[in-house]
Amino acid sequence: MASAMRDRVVEAAVAMTTESGWAAVTMGSIAERVGVSRQTVYNEVGTKPGLAEAMILHELDRFLGMVTAAFDEHPADLVDAIRAASRGVLELAQDNLLLHAVVSATHGADTELLPLLTTHAESLLAAAKLVVRDRVAPYDVRLDETHLDAAIDMVVRVVLSHVMQPSGPPARTAEDIAWIAARVLRG
C-alpha cells in the first residue's frame, strides 16, 4: 500500500506533467512543490523512470476503480457490466489530463512516458486483466479457463486501444465492445 508521502509525490508529478510536460519534471522540482527534500522524493519513488511508472499506476488505479464500480452495479449481467465498465473507462479517459499529456507528447520530443502505455505496458495490462478476472469470477461464464483468459485479454486490449486512440464517442464504443463480448460469452 502506498504511503501518504508517496501519494503526494506522485500527485505533484502528475500535476507538473500536465502543466509543463514530463521533461520539466525533476526530483528537485517535485521536492520543492511537496515541501520535502529531494532525498525524500528519491526514497518514495526511486529514479525518474520509477516515478513515471508510479504515475501511470496511480492513474490506472482510478480507471480500475471505475471498472470495479461498474461490475458492482451489474451483478446479474456480465455483458452489462462490461458495457458500463468500458463506457466509464472511456469517459474517464476523455478528460484525463495526464493521459492527454502523454499521448500529445508523441508529437514532440517529450515521449518518455508513452512506452509505459504502449510497448512496455506489461504491468498495466497485467493489473487490468487481474482486476477484470476477479470481477468476472462470480458470473456464470461457460468458457474454459484458457478461452476466458483470452476473452478478458481481448476486452482489456480493445478498451486500452480506444483509450489511446478513440474512434467514436464512449457510449457507442462501449456498445460495440459489449456486442462483441456478448457474442463470445453467449456463443
Domain boundaries, the chain: 1-46, 53-186
Q: Please say if the pLDDT value at position 44 is more than 90.
A: yes
Higher pLDDT: 112 or 150? It is 150
Residue 177 has what pLDDT? 97
Is residue 54 very low, low, confident or very high in pLDDT (cuts 50, 70, 90)?
A: confident
CATH number of 1-46: 1.10.10.60
Q: Please say if the pLDDT value at position 2 is more than 70.
A: no
Residue 5 has what pLDDT? 93
Instruction: Give the mean pLDDT of the chain.
Output: 87
The answer to whether 83 and 170 are in contact (CB under 8 A) is no
CA pair distance 87, 91, nearest whole angstrom = 6
Q: Please say if the pLDDT value at position 115 is more than 80.
A: no
Mean pLDDT computed over 77-95: 96
Mean pLDDT computed over 119-127: 72
Residue 35 has what pLDDT? 96
Higher pLDDT: 97 or 176? It is 176
Residue 107 has what pLDDT? 43
The answer to whether 55 and 15 are in contact (CB under 8 A) is no
CA pair distance 159, 152, nearest whole angstrom = 11
| CA atoms in the 13 A half-sphere facing the CB of 123 | 13
The answer to whether 85 and 70 are in contact (CB under 8 A) is yes
Q: Please say if the pLDDT value at position 166 is more than 60.
A: yes
Give residue 122's identity as a one-letter amino acid code. Answer: E
Q: Please say if the pLDDT value at position 109 is more than 50.
A: no
Residue 106 has what pLDDT? 46
Higher pLDDT: 74 or 24? It is 74
Mean pLDDT computed over 60-71: 93
Q: Please say if the pLDDT value at position 122 is more than 70.
A: yes
Q: Please say if the pLDDT value at position 55 is more than 80.
A: yes
